[in-house]
Amino acid sequence: MSFSFILHDCPFQATTSQRTPGSQICGGRVTLTLVLGGVRSGKSRMAESLAADFSGSIIYLATAEAKDVEMQERIALHRKHRPKHWKTIEEPIRIAQALFEHATSNKLVVVDCLTLWMTNLLLADDAFETGRLEIDALITEVKRKRSNLVLVSNETNSGVVPIDSLSRRFCDEIGRLHQNLAGLADNVILMVAGIPTWVKRESNGTI
């Protein structure tokens, strides 16, 4: 099984002359910011702070499934940190459909996170068909440039090659996805121990 991750002409950008948590990232046109990092590195908190000053509506698209107590607690902690006026949508598989239904140019959508989404795709009963269709659908929706996006994902590929085939496939697919998104994004942030490193910034000096 292999998935194709070819993301074309993705929209997005971020703005603000000084990049600090909570600074505004949208400057009149749709934008894309990719936030990467390890587990408990501060990815979600950074994404939330980037969205905090956005003047329009904010949608939090969560991909996690509460299948055990630990994950239930993890989800509850994330909910606690989010402002109550943000609209939360929980969708483990069909995130493209969720974007199609809810994304508009006056909204900012935080997708948290792509790695859990990829896991859900790989573990689906019809993994190949589901993965292919959902990835293609997401690409199509992203290309429409209808909403500002902050995408959160785990940087999982800094270690050795995994020993089992499923883990290797996961690393291959999420790595390709990250490379495509990073190439298309206006801003790429790598979180380490709660500290953001701006791997890629807008070149016009407005960040």
Q: What's the CA gap between 176 and 5, in Å, rounded?
A: 6
Minimal CA–CA distance to 61: which of 80, 78, 73, 49?
Answer: 78
> Which residue among the candidates 78, 81, 85, 102 is catalytic per the annotation?
78
Tell me, yes or no, if 78 is annotated catalytic.
yes
Cβ atoms 39, 28 nearer than 8 A: no
Minimal CA–CA distance to 154: which of 37, 68, 65, 9?
Answer: 37
Q: What's the CA gap between 113 and 127, in Å, rounded?
A: 19
Looking at the annotation, which residues are catalytic?
78
